[in-house]
Structure 1
Amino acid sequence: MAAITFTHDPSIAELCETEAVYTRAMHYLVADGVKEKEARKSVCWRRLYTLHQALPKRYEDPQTLFHSLQAHRRGLR
């Protein structure tokens, strides 16, 4: 797997390879109780949004993912 850096905008191929990392980061944001407004400023949100824009049938919108994770977390309480 390619090294993850934040010094350039990764290609769609690079994002596809590292999508699991950004999804895991979104899990952490939700687990930490970060509000959506703040989560939208995160690198993981931007990268997942880019993937969704490029391949919408394959990758979920980060807002949908965020709300799904929140609902799942609420169900665990």
Structure 2
Amino acid sequence: MSQATFSISLTIGKLEASYPLYCKALRILIREEKTIQEIQRSVCWHRLEKLHHCLPRQYKDPNQLYLHLKRELRARSVF
């Protein structure tokens, strides 16, 4: 498996500004029933990890966010 590479270096401010977009992308990947391994190779996952690593009090661990969104989507599909 290859590691994701990024040619653009983003500042924490730019990452923070795009946080809702990364959450939306994660939600879409979950809705498409991608495996956790596939999701962990995504750009949004790596950027969510970076935010959590740099600002852990403000941003959840991507694993926690994944579980939360998965439960949320499962609950919505039941109704």
Normalising by structure 2, we get a TM-score of 0.84
Deviations 1:33-64 (A, max 9, x none): 11111100000000010000000000011111
Stretches of structure 1 lacking an aligned partner (at least 5 in a row):
1-5
Deviations 1:7-38 (A, max 9, x none): 31211111011111111101101111111111
- Using the alignment, how far apart are the partners of 1:9 and 1:67 within structure 2? 28
Q: Unaligned regions of 5+ residues in structure 2, if any?
A: 1-5
2:8 aligned residue: 8
Question: Once the 2 structures are TM-superposed, how far is the Cα of residue 73 of structure 1 from its aligned partner?
Answer: 1.6
- Identical-residue share of aligned pairs (%): 32
- For 2:30, the aligned partner's letter is V
Question: Following the alignment from structure 1 to structure 2, what is the Cα–Cα distance between the partners of residues 28 and 10?
Answer: 23
Equivalent pairs, count: 72
The alignment yields a C-alpha RMSD, in angstroms, of 1.1
Distance 2:36 2:9 in 1: 23
**1:34 matched to 2:2:** no
